[in-house]
Amino acid sequence: MTKKLLFVSTSIGTLGSGLGGGVELTLRNIATELVQRGYRVTIVAPQGSTAWGMPLVEIAGSHQISAQTQGRSAPVVIPHNSVLANLWDYARQVQDNYDLIVNFAYDWLPFYLTPFFNCAIAHLVSMGSLTDVMDEAIARVATQFPGTIGVHSYAQAQTFPFASQCQYLGNGIDLSQYDFCQHPSAGLAWVGRISSEKGLEDAVAASQITGIPMKIMGFMENKAYWQQINQDYPNAPIHYEGFLETAELQKRLGECRALLVTPRWVEAFGNVAIEALACGVPAIAYRRGGPAEIVEDGKTGFLVEPDSVEGLVAAIGRLGEIDRQLCRQRVVKEYSNQAMGDRVEHWFNDILG
Ligand code: UDP
């Protein structure tokens, strides 16, 4: 019998806006792959979202603020007419029509509500440990509902006290959307939300030191942070290209010599790293979090001591050693939508018993 899945999106922004970061592409790719495998998927997301042609229920209400902007001991804050509360109220009402609900939000409420639902809930956790209250809420579900917590990397799982109870999923992309580029014609690339936990300033510093131009692509989350970087590195040959659709992103990214991945935090995965590799673009990444599991040092890019601009500069000097074909092959083997779909299906089957 056809399995029916309800995908509940993030509450911090609309799908397609960029505010949701990697979660947006992750949700899209998993949904697309499972639809191809015969599942019936409905996406429920904040009003104004796009669902790329898949069935979508839009829910009104005020968005949550991003978890990464708060401190360890921050309490849970739920605004008036909360879209998060409204999304989960909707899920509660329709739960009997579904075999499984999949939570894509890094929010306290869905974890708290899990025991009150009749329908099983799979939680795909998209960030590492950030606050005590979230750790506590996720840990409770991990214990009461074994196997229902999915993560993107081992490093991400290790940030939680319940690491051993997490299901490793990696991530995947639709390779048909990314063209392989053998001969780069441009300089460096940096892709991501412009926000301090992403460490953009280190990549800009490396661009200034080497004099190699760098394209910056991504959602402008923190303007003040961006202005500060421009003030601090006035001579860096950088250009902000805006927040781009996947088709345009992969085109401009593909012609670059390398992607710099410079997060300050333990990046749960780093979608941008596999997107670059898919185009044949090696990634130079800090040896920290998800990117350190994706990039093979000296083969599909370089792993650099975290927070070391000199390390980035040295790795840029070694780019000639990289075979761009191997970069693409890494994604074909490990991070295709098919590979991810297999892992996700296995996870769902385990949960559904
Ligand atoms: N992205 C995009 N257009 C851009 C730049 C980035 O669509 O111009 C997307 C990219 O495809 C990726 C996401 O933004 O899926 C960033 O996700 P990542 O996992 O790298 O980091 P996060 O934002 O989740 O911390």
pLDDT tens, position by position, 261-319: 999 999 999 999 999 999 999 999 999 999 999 999 999 999 999 999 999 999 999 99
Per-residue tokens: 18: 């960029």
* Claim to verify: residue 312 and residue 344 sit in the same structural domain: no
* Claim to verify: residue 181 and residue 233 sit in the same structural domain: yes
Residue 302 in contact with residue 315, Cβ under 8 Å?
A: yes
CATH number at residue 312: 3.40.50.2000
Per-residue tokens: 24: 């947006």
Q: What is the Å distance from ligand 1's center to 261 Cα?
A: 12
Beta bridge partners of 144: none
Percent above pLDDT 90 for the chain: 97
How far, CA to CA in Å, does 22 sit from each of 40, 57, 281?
Answer: 23, 21, 19
Mean pLDDT of all residues in 340-349: 98
Answer whether residue 199 shows pLDDT above 80. Answer: yes
Quote the number of domains for the chain. 2
pLDDT at residue number 187:
97
* Claim to verify: residue 148 and residue 272 sit in the same structural domain: no
Q: What is the pLDDT of residues 239-267, one digit of tens each?
A: 999 999 999 999 999 999 999 999 999 99
Mean pLDDT of all residues in 125-141: 97
* Claim to verify: residue 330 and residue 340 sit in the same structural domain: no
* Claim to verify: residue 320 and residue 258 sit in the same structural domain: yes
Closest ligand 1 atom, CA of 244?
8
Q: What is the pLDDT of residues 86-102, one digit of tens each?
A: 999 999 999 999 999 99
Q: Is 25 in the pocket of ligand 1 (CB under 6 A)?
A: yes
Percent above pLDDT 70 for the chain: 100
Q: What is the Å distance from ligand 1's center to 119 Cα?
A: 31
Mean pLDDT of all residues in 24-31: 98
* Claim to verify: residue 134 and residue 19 sit in the same structural domain: yes
Residue closest via CA to ligand 1's atom 16 equals 22
Q: What is the Å distance from ligand 1's center to 117 Cα?
A: 32
- Using DSSP, state whether 261 is helix, strand or coil: strand
pLDDT at residue number 68:
80
Closest ligand 1 atom, CA of 68?
25
At 67, the pLDDT band (50, 70, 90 cuts) reads: confident
Answer whether residue 70 shows pLDDT above 90. Answer: no
Q: Is 172 in the pocket of ligand 1 (CB under 6 A)?
A: no
Q: Is 278 in the pocket of ligand 1 (CB under 6 A)?
A: no
Q: What is the Å distance from ligand 1's center to 353 Cα?
A: 33
Alpha helices in 70-131 (DSSP H): 83-94, 108-113
Q: Which domain holds residue 187?
A: 175-334
* Claim to verify: residue 189 and residue 149 sit in the same structural domain: no
The number of beta carbons lying within 10 Å of the beta carbon of residue 352 is: 11
* Claim to verify: residue 276 and residue 234 sit in the same structural domain: yes
Phi, psi of 8 (to 5 degrees): -100, 120
Q: What is the Å distance from ligand 1's center to 69 Cα?
A: 17
Answer whether residue 320 shows pLDDT above 90. Answer: yes
How far, CA to CA in Å, does 131 sit from each of 69, 135, 160, 332, 346?
Answer: 11, 6, 10, 35, 29
Q: Is 192 in the pocket of ligand 1 (CB under 6 A)?
A: yes
At 69, the pLDDT band (50, 70, 90 cuts) reads: confident
Q: Is 74 exposed, middle or buried (0-12, 13-18, 19+ CB in 10 A)?
A: middle
* Claim to verify: residue 134 and residue 212 sit in the same structural domain: no
Mean pLDDT of all residues in 177-185: 98
Cα 91 from Cα 106, distance rounded (Å)? 16
